[in-house]
Structure 1
Amino acid sequence: MGEWAFLGSLLDAVQLQSPLLGRLWLVVMLIFRILVLATVGGAVFEDEQEEFVCNTLQPGCRQTCYDRAFPVSHYRFWLFHILLLSAPPVLFVIYSVHRAGKEAGGADAGPGPPPRRRCYLLSVALRLLAELAFLAGQTLLYGFRVAPHFSCAGPPCPHTVDCFVSRPTEKTVFVLFYFAVGLLSALLSVAELGHLLWKGGPRAGRCRGRRAHEEAQQLLPPPPPPSPLPRVPPIPPSSRPRPDDPGGPPAYAHPGPAGDSEGGSGRSKASLATVRQDLAI
């Protein structure tokens, strides 16, 4: 169980830097694959070669028939599958730690998140390809059923012999279970890959451009306030004509223009000066 604990600690480090769909994929990986294979799968498949019995005593015939029936053991096939699926996330963690160290030391002047995001996107694509490849390999190697009987012919067997597999029904259940888990894992990887591509697509670019425009607008100085209109001083009450003033104009009379009043006063002064000159003569 020591190697499984080490692999689980590495995948726990991946969980700290994964989005929600990536964490769901890790839950499926840790519980439905590693935990099931480490606790139950070993007891079912580790003794399959010893329990593979043929109705002959010819030396080497049973081993040859087992190799033809199972080119790769189920247990070793799934173990190699888990190790290969864990490689891209672990490489992403190594890259993230390395890049974080460079950014902390000031050796990297470029932006951090975009390269890290591209690396994570590559790791998801690689694990999806590995998942599909192993699903195809499991279908070609074993199909969806472990047959209880296997007929074998050829050297070193003297004739066609019958071989029998131990616990075929239980092994068939495990084969179907692991194939279903593989399909679920592949669907989660496809959903996560689509989500990452959608976040980095044109819509996300437009959102980033809109946010950049809003930030630029916030950095610009505010426009100057509009200049106030000139205020007209109010007319004092003392200069307003009163209706009861006998010397003033009637209430219904409109004040004449300022220019006419000034002109009239000028003409009256000129006529007064002429009268004074006549009197002096």
Structure 2
Amino acid sequence: MGEWGFLGTVFEGLQDHAPMLGRFWLFLMLVFRIVILGTVASDLFEDEQLEFSCNTLQPGCKQVCYDKAFPISQYRFWVFHIVLIATPSLVFVMYATHHNSKKAKQPKSKRSILQNYIEDRRLRRLYIVNVIFRIAAEVGFLVGQCKLYSFEVPAQYPCNRFPCPYTVDCFTSRPMEKTIFLYFYFGVGVLSAFSSIVELFYSSVKWFCCNLENFDLDDSTCENLQNLRQDLSGKKTTSDSRGFLTVYVILS
């Protein structure tokens, strides 16, 4: 499980910015994917090529038949799936860390409060993009699993590829156990995709379709933002105030 340690660090950083539904997806990812894949699946699929046998001694026949039966190992397919989903999360955590460090260095003022509000909106937009990419990856890999493996690992594969001298029968190890794991991982993928879709709609409505007062800001911050609105709507004629107001109206 040591090779999965860096993903645990990424998901811990993502948890600080994710809503409740996002934390549920993290729970599914950490427990039902990374932990299960690193313990059960690694032992289940480590001998699949070694135990794959064909009823012929023709050199090369076993290798080409295995390649036909398993274009890509299920285990490596799921590892690639996890890494691909974790990549946008890593980008988001890096940006969020930079945002928080920059925010901590700014002096507290009305202008910095508005800048922090604008940065928070950008951070939330980036999180939404992360969720959209996650949904696309989830659906894409579900379709890929159906195309590559269907829902069953057959115990017997007929194969007639060159250099096999005739149609030979090849046999896999523990086909029923692997079939059960296929169903399990597909079910986890469906649940993860569904939770991500719900999270996308929930976060979009909560963060971007509500008024400013509904955001997660304390009372003093809301009061400062309201005062800043009034100041910006006054009759200031300096170019700096007009430019800043334009930026505020556009980004709000």
Residue 99 of structure 2 is matched in structure 1 by: 99
Cα-Cα RMSD: 2.3
User: Partners in 2 of 1:193 and 1:31 — Cα distance?
Assistant: 22
Can you give the 5+ residue segments of structure 2 that lack an aligned partner in the other structure? 215-221, 231-252
User: What's the offset of the Cα at 1:83?
Assistant: 0.7
User: What's the offset of the Cα at 1:206?
Assistant: 8.1
Residue 138 of structure 1 is matched in structure 2 by: 145
1:127 aligns with 2:134: yes
- Which 4+ residue blocks in structure 1 deviate beyond 6 angstroms? none
Residue 17 of structure 1 is matched in structure 2 by: 17
User: Partners in 2 of 1:15 and 1:106 — Cα distance?
Assistant: 24
Higher relative contact order (CA 8 A, sep 6+): 2
1:57 aligns with 2:57: yes
Maintained 8 Å contact 2:65/2:159: yes
Maintained 8 Å contact 2:19/2:203: no
User: What's the offset of the Cα at 1:207?
Assistant: 6.1
User: Partners in 2 of 1:23 and 1:199 — Cα distance?
Assistant: 16
SS in 1 for 2:43: helix
Maintained 8 Å contact 2:64/2:161: no
User: Partners in 2 of 1:141 and 1:205 — Cα distance?
Assistant: 47
**Aligned match for 2:157, one of 125, 150, 157:** 150
SS in 2 for 1:193: helix
Q: How does 1:1-281 map to 2 (within 5 A)?
A: 1-106=1-106, 110=115, 111-202=118-209, 204-205=210-211
Give the residue type in structure 2 aligned to 1:188.
S
For residues 213-234 of structure 1, what are the alpha-carbon distances to aligned partners after superposition, in whole Å with 9 as ceiling and x for unaligned?
xx57xx9xxxxxxxxxxxxxxx
User: What's the offset of the Cα at 1:88?
Assistant: 1.6
User: Partners in 2 of 1:106 and 1:149 — Cα distance?
Assistant: 66
For residues 218-254 of structure 1, what are the alpha-carbon distances to aligned partners after superposition, in whole Å with 9 as ceiling and x for unaligned?
x9xxxxxxxxxxxxxxxxxxxxxxxxxxxxxxxxxxx
User: Partners in 1 of 2:134 and 2:14 — Cα distance?
Assistant: 13
How many equivalent residue pairs?
Answer: 214
User: What's the offset of the Cα at 1:9?
Assistant: 2.1
SS in 1 for 2:49: coil
Identical aligned pairs, as a percentage? Answer: 49
Can you give the 5+ residue segments of structure 1 that lack an aligned partner in the other structure? 220-281
- TM-score by length of structure 1 reads 0.71
- TM-score by length of structure 2 reads 0.79
User: Partners in 2 of 1:201 and 1:17 — Cα distance?
Assistant: 16
Give the residue type in structure 1 aligned to 2:83.
L
